[in-house]
Amino acid sequence: MSQPSPSTDIRRDLVALLPRLRRFALTLTGDASDADLLVRGSANRAIQKSHHWKGEGRLENWLFSIMRTTWSDEARKRKKAEPAGIDVGSATERKKTANAVLAMPDGLSAAFLLTDVEGFTCQEAATILGIQADQLAARLCAARLGLASANAMTSERRA
Amino acid sequence: MSVSQPSPLELRLSAYVDAQAGDGDWHDVEDLLVNDPQARALHDALRRGSEVGRRAFDDMLKEPVPLDLVRSIKNAPLPRRAVRLPQAPRPGFLLKPSGMQTFIACLSLFVLGGAIGYFLGSRPAATGERVTIAAPAQADRDWLDDIIAQYRLYARQTTHLAEIPAERPADILEWLTTNTGISFRIPDLQGSGLAFQGARMFTAGGTPVAQLLYRRIEGDADGDVIAITFTKTRPAGNRSLEEIRNETGIVTWVTPLATYMVIGPSSAADLDDIAAKAAGLI
C-alpha cells in the first residue's frame, strides 16, 4: 500500500534513462569512473527532490540540470580542497581519451550532445548548462568543426 | 576554456545547419553556399562533424551500464524531509474534556438545537430561503504567482538587478523595514557561494514585498540569481511550501511575523539548504 506506483516512482525512470544520463555525465567529467559517481550522486539528489518534479516537460531536462548543478558543486568543492596556486581548471581538465567526442575541450561535447543528439533547442540546452544561448551556439559550432577536423585526420592516417 | 571563438560566418553556417536562421538569413546563406566555395566547404564540414559526433554518441549508448549503479538507484531510499524549516505556530489546543464539561456541552447543544427547531417551526415561511455560501478565493496562488513573475523578470537583468545596491545596506534595511513592517537582517550567504547584490521592493496581491537578491559566484551556475523574499501576506493554512512553478523553484516558511521565500531556477537543488541557512540568519 505504501509502495509508490510505477508511474510515480522516479527510480524506475532513472534506471530507464541511465545510459543517457551516463553519457551526459561523461561529457561533463571526461572519465568513466567519475561519470558513474556523478550519475549516482545526481540520481540520489533527484530521488530526494522528486517531489519537485510535477510531470511538466521532459524529465531529462530536469535530470540533466540537476546533474550539471551537482557537477558544478563538486568542482567547487574540489577547488576549495586544492592547495593554493594549483589551477583548478586542471582538476576538471579532459582526461586523455580515445573517444574524439570526449577529447574535445570542456563544454563542447556537452553542448553538442544536448543539441545535436538529445534534440534540445539551443535555449533549453543553454539553460541546462547554465550559460547564454549565444555561448552555446559558439560551443556547438566549435564542436562540429572540431569533430569534422578530427575525422578528416583519422581518414588521412588510414589512407 | 581554451576554445577559439568561431568566426561570424562559421556561426551563421552552424545556425543554418540547425535550420535556426531567420527567413532573410536563410536566403543569404543559400546564395553564399552557391557562390562561395569556402562557405560550401565549411558547411560540409559542419554537417560532417555533426554526423560524426552523433554516431560516436550513439555508440556510447551500446556500452553496458555497471550493474551496481543500477542496483544503487533501484534500492535508493525514497525521500524523507531532512530540512526542518520554521513552522507557523499552531494553536496548542488539546481536547481532553472532563465529565462535567462533556455534560455541559451536551446540554448546551440540546438547548441550542431545541431553540433552532422551535424558531424554524414557528416560522415555516423562512424555510424557503436560500443560503449562499461563497467559496473562499484562492488568493494565495495569485500573490505567489506575482512574486514568481517578478523574479523571472529581474533574474534576467544583468545591469538592473537591484533597486538599491549591496553597497548601501543601511538604506536597504531602513527602506524595506519601513515599507513592509518586517524587521530583518541581510543574511551573509557567501558560504553557499552567493554574493549579495542588493534589494528590491514591489507589491504582490496588494501588499508590499521585499526582495534581497543574491548571485552565484562559483561553478557553472555562476550568475544564477537567488532571491530571498518576504511579505506580511500569509499563505493558505500558514503552510510551508516547496515546489516548482513556471520553471522556478520556491521554498517558503512562515513565522508569526511574516512569510519568507527563497526563489531560484528550478535546477537549483540546494534551495532548501539555502532556506534553512537564511531562516537562521535573517
Regarding whether A100 and A79 lie in a shared domain, the answer is no
Beta partners for residue B195, in sequence order: B215
Report the pLDDT averaged over residues B246-275. Answer: 84
Regarding whether A73 and A103 lie in a shared domain, the answer is no
Residues in A closer than 8 angstroms to B58, CB to CB, are 117
Regarding whether A75 and A1 lie in a shared domain, the answer is yes
Contact A68 B17 (CB under 8 A): no
CATH number at residue A9: 1.10.1740
pLDDT tens digits, A110-157: 999 999 999 998 899 999 999 999 999 999 999 999 999 888 887 777
Residue B129, pLDDT score: 44
* Any B CB within 8 A of A66 CB: yes
Q: Is the pLDDT of residue A92 over 70?
A: no
Regarding whether A110 and A67 lie in a shared domain, the answer is no
Residue that terminates a domain, selected from A47, A62, A93: A93
Residue B94, pLDDT score: 66
Contact B221 A130 (CB under 8 A): yes
Which residues 35-64 of B have a C-beta within 8 angstroms of A?
42, 45-50, 52-54, 56-58, 60-61, 63
Contact A45 B266 (CB under 8 A): no
B264 closest CA partner among B160, B151, B156, B159:
B151
* Dist. CA A15–CA B49, nearest whole Å: 31
Regarding whether A78 and A26 lie in a shared domain, the answer is yes
Which residues 111-150 of A have a C-beta within 8 angstroms of B?
112-113, 115-117, 122, 127-131, 137-150
Contact B76 A138 (CB under 8 A): no
Cα A139 from chain centroid (whole Å): 14
Regarding whether A111 and A36 lie in a shared domain, the answer is no
Tell me the C-alpha to C-alpha distance, in Å, between residue B57 and each of A6, B51, B65, B78. Answer: 29, 10, 15, 32
Residues in A closer than 8 angstroms to B73, CB to CB, are 11, 14-15, 18, 40, 43, 47
Regarding whether A99 and A61 lie in a shared domain, the answer is no
Report the pLDDT averaged over residues B255-264. Answer: 90
Strands (E), chain B: 164-165, 194-204, 207-216, 225-231, 241-245, 248-254, 259-265
Contact A108 B3 (CB under 8 A): yes
Contact A142 B4 (CB under 8 A): yes
Regarding whether A154 and A87 lie in a shared domain, the answer is no
Q: Would you call B109 helix, strand, or coil by DSSP?
A: helix
Residue B87, pLDDT score: 67
pLDDT tens digits, B7-19: 888 888 888 887 6
Residue B126, pLDDT score: 46
pLDDT tens digits, B192-242: 889 999 999 999 888 999 999 999 887 656 788 999 999 988 887 777 777
Cell for B2? 581554451
Regarding whether A67 and A120 lie in a shared domain, the answer is no
Domain containing A16 equals: 1-93
Residue that terminates a domain, selected from A93, A117, A141: A93
CB A100 within 8 A of CB B56: yes
Q: How many CB pairs under 8 A join A and B?
A: 181
Residue that terminates a domain, selected from A40, A59, A93: A93
Mutate to test the interface with A, among B2, B3, B216 (most CBs of A within 10 A): B3
Residues in B closer than 8 angstroms to A43, CB to CB, are 72-73, 76
In B, minimum Cα distance to A140 occurs at B14
Q: Which of B76, B193, B220 sits opposite A11 (nearest CB)?
A: B76
Number of neighbours of residue A5 by Cβ within 10 angstroms: 7
* Any A CB within 8 A of B8 CB: no
CB A130 within 8 A of CB B3: no
* Any B CB within 8 A of A51 CB: yes
Contact B52 A148 (CB under 8 A): yes
Domains located in chain B, CATH noted: 1-76 (no CATH), 139-281 (3.30.200.100)
Residue B219, pLDDT score: 64
pTM beyond 0.80, yes or no: no
pLDDT tens digits, B40-70: 999 999 999 999 999 999 988 888 888 888 8
Beta partners for residue B228, in sequence order: B212, B262
Mutate to test the interface with B, among A12, A52, A134, A154 (most CBs of B within 10 A): A52
Report the pLDDT averaged over residues A17-21. Answer: 92
pLDDT tens digits, B97-127: 788 888 888 889 999 988 888 888 776 554 4
Regarding whether A120 and A62 lie in a shared domain, the answer is no
Total tally of structural domains belonging to chain A: 2
B187 — pLDDT class (breaks 50, 70, 90): very high
Regarding whether A70 and A128 lie in a shared domain, the answer is no
Cell for B227? 532571491
Q: Mean pLDDT of all residues in chain A?
A: 81
Residue B100, pLDDT score: 84
B132 — pLDDT class (breaks 50, 70, 90): very low
A81 — pLDDT class (breaks 50, 70, 90): confident
Regarding whether A101 and A27 lie in a shared domain, the answer is no
Kind and range of the H or E run holding B37: helix B37-60
Residue A1, pLDDT score: 37
Residue B130, pLDDT score: 44
Q: Is the pLDDT of residue B21 over 70?
A: no
pLDDT tens digits, A53-74: 777 778 888 999 999 999 988 8
Q: Are strands B241-245 and B259-265 parallel, antiparallel or unpaired?
A: unpaired
